[in-house]
Structure 1
């Protein structure tokens, strides 16, 4: 998959800085929560582009991130819709940049200042916390094994000698390394390459997050999740280490509001509740 480059508008910074100085007064939302104006938020949060929450995400990774020409940002999915609602709570618009997952989860993309926040179904781990700060958890996940129904593979114990596709830099890859004994692990940069690979017969199985494999199972009846693995994983939104504390606090506050007022549940149900 080709990746789009960052679309930052450097020429807007001078004008936005003047607006930020002029517009420091906050708005008060119903219930008494003080919400900063867009210009004040740009100044307080150190955003890449004033008034806009610039999000880095590895797309596609359905149902969390997908291209969507009908949405204002050009993307949708659980992560994107949730972060759009969070941005609205703190008076920001949202822009999404499609980036590779491995440098995003390592912290390199965020430290480089490409974006303000990472939203890419990213599990909070101790290793990642060495280079990244995370929001409060917003989703609990499982790992899973997807195969063709006629493959004869019934679970992870039957992968010896088989080619198993994993996404590079993910907890799914780590789980496969530790538990898929005798398997030949094949790394791919994203689910956008994993799914076509199993359809083309290049790999025998995919080991990755259960909701993503479930989308493939729904899309093609020739494929089936044969085993899920409870790994106690939780997703969080990622920030450059030690640099975005004010933005992280604002995101956490907005996430709590969304859970308290029921909007989080509505977004969750749209993607994960059986119809």
Structure 2
């Protein structure tokens, strides 16, 4: 698949940005047992930037995950509020358990370990891992990383895959986000990056970097919610995901960021 967005954004300021879902009636629908952290709002936490899934453009948060969440909020007659948070706390369940948000939407793979602390929606995206290297690198695959260094994002399945599969003498360097990882490989501080394919593809646009290898890991992304007390919210999100797929809106959003 080909990442269709232009050059990736640099390190962005963190903060909270409210996005208002269009459409719907003037009054929000009855929220019942959704147990939302803010009445009338669907509060979503995401680790930004991580294009093409979440990033900031023209002062607004956007991306594949964010666009899907906007449609879900609209279907639930709620306003969408997006908060930029660290991925480690989000994938561990700590951020949601602290009541900071209703949903985690951050290219998060559904794993057994995460399911111990989080409830997940139905899968909404299948992903591959990949190895990004400079165009003139002699690294053609993961086995060539012997004696070299590779950057990963901490707390991700990419980090897990890397540590389980690189040669024993490979230095694995964990970074908080893709922005720091990419800056490190640009500066020559690491020899390669191993992470989700769509994100690495975005780094190949200027020709300075290339994808050396892809890895099928059977990863599926899901939207994360509280482990306890989120049953109605999970059901509502799944209902909206089905409606978005049936209406063709999912494919429209998908085609905005990817082609196959």
TM-score, with structure 1 as normaliser: 0.84
SS at match of 2:162: helix
Deviation of the 1:2 alpha carbon: 7.8
1:231 to 2:198 alignment: no
Q: Is the 8 A contact 1:39 1:50 kept in 2?
A: no
The counterpart of 2:28, out of the listed 32, 38, 41, is: 38
1:49 to 2:35 alignment: no
Matches within 5 A, 1:37-116: 38=28, 40-41=30-31, 43-69=32-58, 74-116=60-102
- Count matched residues: 243
Deviation of the 1:183 alpha carbon: 1.1
Q: Is the 8 A contact 1:38 1:50 kept in 2?
A: no
In the alignment, the residues of structure 1 paired with residue 215 and residue 12 of structure 2 have an alpha-carbon distance, to the nearest angstrom, of: 32
1:165 to 2:151 alignment: yes
With CA pairs under 8 Å and 6+ residues apart, which has the higher RCO, 1 or 2? 2
Deviation of the 1:48 alpha carbon: 1.3
Q: Is the 8 A contact 1:3 1:98 kept in 2?
A: no
What residue number does 2:140 align with?
154
What residue number does 2:120 align with?
134
What residue number does 2:188 align with?
201
Deviation of the 1:240 alpha carbon: 1.2
What is the RMSD computed on CA atoms of the aligned residues?
1.9
TM-score, with structure 2 as normaliser: 0.89
In the alignment, the residues of structure 2 paired with residue 215 and residue 69 of structure 1 have an alpha-carbon distance, to the nearest angstrom, of: 19
What residue number does 2:4 align with?
none
In the alignment, the residues of structure 2 paired with residue 61 and residue 6 of structure 1 have an alpha-carbon distance, to the nearest angstrom, of: 16
Greater fraction helix: 1
Higher Cα Rg, which structure = 1
Q: Is the 8 A contact 2:121 2:237 kept in 1?
A: yes
In the alignment, the residues of structure 1 paired with residue 218 and residue 157 of structure 2 have an alpha-carbon distance, to the nearest angstrom, of: 11
Distance 1:265 1:6, change over 3 A: closer
Deviation of the 1:49 alpha carbon: 1.3
SS at match of 2:204: helix
In the alignment, the residues of structure 2 paired with residue 52 and residue 144 of structure 1 have an alpha-carbon distance, to the nearest angstrom, of: 36
What residue number does 2:236 align with?
250
In the alignment, the residues of structure 1 paired with residue 149 and residue 200 of structure 2 have an alpha-carbon distance, to the nearest angstrom, of: 17
In the alignment, the residues of structure 2 paired with residue 5 and residue 265 of structure 1 have an alpha-carbon distance, to the nearest angstrom, of: 30
What residue number does 1:19 align with?
none
Runs of at least 4 residues off by over 2 Å: 1-8
Name stretches of at least 5 consecutive residues in structure 2 with no aligned partner: 1-10, 19-23
In the alignment, the residues of structure 1 paired with residue 48 and residue 179 of structure 2 have an alpha-carbon distance, to the nearest angstrom, of: 8
Q: Is the 8 A contact 1:172 1:209 kept in 2?
A: yes
Q: Is the 8 A contact 2:17 2:81 kept in 1?
A: no
1:215-238 superposed Cα distances (whole Å, 9 cap, x missing partner): 1112x2110001000000000000
